[in-house]
Chains A and B, each alone.
Chain A
Amino acid sequence: MTGFRAFLAGFVDRNGLPVAIYLGVAVTIWVFLLVALPQLAMLDFSFRHNLPPSKMGGPEDVYTLEQYRYFFLGSEIGPEGWNALDIGVLVKTLIAAVAVTLIDLAICYPVAYLLAQSARGAAGRLMVLALIVPFWVNEILRAFAFRILFGATGVLNELGMSAGLWSAPIDFVGEDVALYAGLSYAYILLMIFPLYNAIESLDRNQIEAARDMGASILQVHRKVVIPYAKPGIASGSTMVFMLTAGALAAPQILGGPSNLWFTQIVYQWFNDGGNWPRGSAYAIVLLAVCIGFVMLMMRVFRVSIGAIGR
């Protein structure tokens, strides 16, 4: 405790009392009131029964695992065994998020490399600007643009059919092609900038040295650029993965009628089902699984969480 008090005294000393209070209050409000307590409230709520407001706090308001049981085992009346529907949706969401992350990585790596290593001055700035501009259009409009592209009478179908590539309209939306394309598009920026930042600081001499030693272009990337850019790759991948898994707008607009995204189930429990505790439990499951997955990947690829956001 004395260590903490000394730290506090030093903190106030260094900043002056008013600034120290400002820093302390702002950070405390943020961390506790906005981040930690709401998450704890949600966690607490997920262990409760779905009760009408009049019964809350009453004798029936006890802790229960019912909401989680439902996620794993399904309704009591239904057939025995696992809640295959919801678990299936979660697994599908995760796989899709991984796929979208890999697609984005593949698309963005060359762009980030070219941008960081060749574009200089005004041209480079213009390209960065051109990257940002599409992302000032919000997520919903971007998804809408993909609806126009991929719809049954959309541009792609019209083009393909008039070129004679296929004769009947392809159901891109039902097949989830539109969803994947839209999601990959939506988070490109979050992949490019961490990659760009990482690669930009790489000394060009290193690449030239490798070339001089006889490394092929592929070898240069595999042995020099990619290891160097690893924190950037981890950062971009983590963000794209988490945002894709947590996306709601794009699946609502671009998802096929029979295909659900896990966030849509959460949304349904909250808004249509009116069962907040179950919605909370599902949200906790989503959060836990996503964080667990990211941690696992970081362990596998040996990156620290400090790399994220850099």
Chain B
Amino acid sequence: MTRGPAILLPFLYLALFFAYLFGPLIIMAITAFNSAGFPRVSPWECLTFGWFGKLAQDARLLEGIGNSLIIGVGVVLIAVPIGLAAALTLSQVGPRLRASLYTVFIAPILVPGVVIGLSTLIFWDRLGSALGAGYDTLFYDGIFLTIAGQVTFIAAYSMLVFLSRIQRFDPTLTEAALDMGATPTQAFVKVLLPFMAPAIGSAAVLAFLASMENYNTTVFTVVAESTFTTVLASKVRYGLDPSISAVAVIIVAGTLVAATVFEVAKRRQTRAASGLLALDRPALKLIAHPVFVAALLAALVGWVAWTGANHDSSVCEMRVLEDKRAVQERLEQERRERLRELAPAAPSQGGSQGGGAGGAFAPGSLAPGGAAPAAPGGAFAPGSLVPGGAAPASPGGAFAPGSLTPGGGAAKQPGGAFAPAGLAPSAGSD
């Protein structure tokens, strides 16, 4: 038998698979803490929490999240009852009708989201114009349209959840209730609904999440409004920025907390079922309680957030800025030397000024002042490459007068003076 190494193969495969599943997310999460202005892991610049601060100030994103929450609640309130009704209807009809009804009910899941979005938009637009409704009515309201569009297919998700639950329902329970004199409505409310309760809960969560993360349908139906996903999509399309990674970090962290609490609760449930709950040890009982775990995790998240809010990465970011400037200057210096070698015959005018300055600062110790007057453009270039979009713009402005002054010594002073000015915006955004 070749059982030895072969038995490891499945584990290796699973490990690879989960690496594929989590790798991209982990890398994205790491970029949220790098101060580099472009989301990347290497070169690593500084540990920063500034991108989270930037998120909290993003009014458009906050507005989008607000709209998404409203839409999510609306979708849950409509899609879950529809899904339940569809599942109950399916469970009552004969096999032939059931098959064709099932095809109709399942179709919205298979129809591309783009098509659902378009058709919803057109239908309500046509209906509105046929009724002569104005543009400020429901027919043209992005939030209403988005709810309508999303319910179309999210109701089918809910239906699937209910169908799997209803398969385990014992119809004799309803019959017993009816025999005892309950009306069909009472039997529905007191027997069937309580049985479906867990499924209603999970269908609601599923519907809310599906609504929050939908893009394909929403992008058409949302018209002039915006949602969480449409704001994110436009951010991603028009420029990569680590604050998008920060959004992902928040979502992943929330998910992990929820998943952990869920798992703890589940374990408790199975233990309770098998009578293994540590009733004799109150301390253990407390620690294993889902609420306690949730509180613990919440405290952990709060601590990280607090540490992050107080973490000051500006000193490190300044150093990175200086390093970049130094590199830039070295390149500039080399370029000038090459130019001088290429044109030794004409050491006139520009050459004399630049050369003079270069000569005065040749040792390189005073490089920041020396290069700036000679090539202001070059000095600005690192600024535009530098992290923290907002920060470099103002140092550039503060630096400009310095680069205009001819004297190397004078140029050096604004350079020093600009440091605190450069700190200000990034500290503010933390």
Contact = CB atoms under 8 A, between A and B. Distances in A.
B155 A246 contact: no
A5 interface: no
Chain B: interface secondary structure?
A: helix
B255 A137 contact: yes
B42 A158 contact: yes
Interface residues of B, number: 91
Interface string B245-282: 10110011001100100110011000000000000000
A168 interface: no
A306 B105 CA distance: 11
A239 B92 contact: no
Given A185-B20, A280-B118, A306-B102, A38 B129 contact: no
Interface in B92-138: 92, 99, 102-116, 118-120, 122-124, 126-127, 129
A12 to B, nearest CB: 9
Contacts, number: 255
Contacts of B86: 26-27, 30
A246 B216 contact: yes
A174 B255 CA distance: 33
B405 interface: no
A31 B89 CA distance: 13
A303 interface: no
A257 to B, nearest CB: 12
Q: Which among A129, A249, A252, A306 has the highest number of chain B CB atoms within 10 Å?
A: A249
Contacts of A154: 40
Interface string A125-163: 111011111101111111111111101011100100000
Nearest to A121: B270
A130 B19 CA distance: 11
Contacts of A142: 24-25
A306 B99 contact: yes
B235 to A, nearest CB: 9
A137 B252 contact: yes
Contacts of A305: 103, 106
Given A16-B183, A133-B259, A252 B88 contact: no
B25 A263 contact: no
Nearest to B112: A246
Contacts of A267: 114, 219-220
Contact of B106 (A133, A158, A308): A308
Nearest to B118: A283
A273 interface: no
B82 A146 contact: no
A29 B82 contact: yes
A96 to B, nearest CB: 14
A23 interface: yes
Contacts of A185: 20-21, 24
Nearest to B42: A158
Contact of A145 (B103, B120, B248): B248
A158 B34 CA distance: 16
Contact of A130 (B18, B160, B212, B233): B18
A16 B112 contact: no
A30 B158 CA distance: 13
B4 interface: no
Contact of B126 (A45, A137, A270): A45
Given A23-B88, A38-B122, A270-B118, A114 B14 contact: yes
Nearest to A11: B92
B226 to A, nearest CB: 13
A35 B21 contact: no
A248 B216 contact: yes
Nearest to B99: A306
B28 to A, nearest CB: 4
A11 B184 CA distance: 11
A194 to B, nearest CB: 11
A242 B112 contact: yes
Q: Which among A23, A34, A118 has the highest number of chain B CB atoms within 10 Å?
A: A34
B27 interface: yes
Q: Which among B13, B111, B212, B259 has the highest number of chain A CB atoms within 10 Å?
A: B111
A30 B149 CA distance: 11
A260 interface: no
Given A138-B232, A266-B114, A252 B25 contact: no
B109 to A, nearest CB: 7
Interface stretch (B236-244, B305-313, B336-344, B349-357): B236-244
Contacts of B84: 26
B119 A129 contact: no
B115 A286 contact: yes
Given A146-B24, A266-B114, A23 B85 contact: yes
Interface in B130-189: 148, 151-152, 155-156, 160, 183-188
Given A136-B251, A138-B213, A266-B114, A16 B184 contact: yes
A133 B86 CA distance: 29
Given A114-B14, A148-B28, A287-B112, A253 B82 contact: no
Q: Which among A18, A138, A291, A306 has the highest number of chain B CB atoms within 10 Å?
A: A138
Q: Which among A30, A45, A151, A283 has the highest number of chain B CB atoms within 10 Å?
A: A30
A141 B20 CA distance: 16
Nearest to A10: B92
Contacts of B73: none
A276 B122 contact: yes
Given A270-B220, A283-B115, A18 B21 contact: no
Nearest to B267: A122
Contact of B115 (A17, A22, A42): A42
22 contacts: A15-B188, A17-B185, A26-B81, A26-B82, A27-B89, A34-B120, A35-B108, A37-B123, A38-B120, A42-B119, A125-B263, A129-B263, A138-B212, A145-B27, A147-B236, A158-B40, A245-B112, A253-B236, A266-B118, A270-B118, A283-B114, A286-B115
Interface of A: 11, 13-19, 22-23, 26-27, 29-31, 34-35, 37-39, 41-42, 45, 53, 56, 107, 110-111, 114, 118, 122, 125-127, 129-134, 136-149, 151, 153-155, 158, 185, 188, 238-239, 242-243, 245-249, 252-253, 263, 266-267, 270, 276, 279-280, 283, 286-287, 290-291, 294, 305-306, 308-309
8 closest A-B pairs by beta carbon, nearest first, are A246-B112, A16-B184, A138-B213, A26-B85, A38-B119, A38-B123, A16-B185, A145-B24
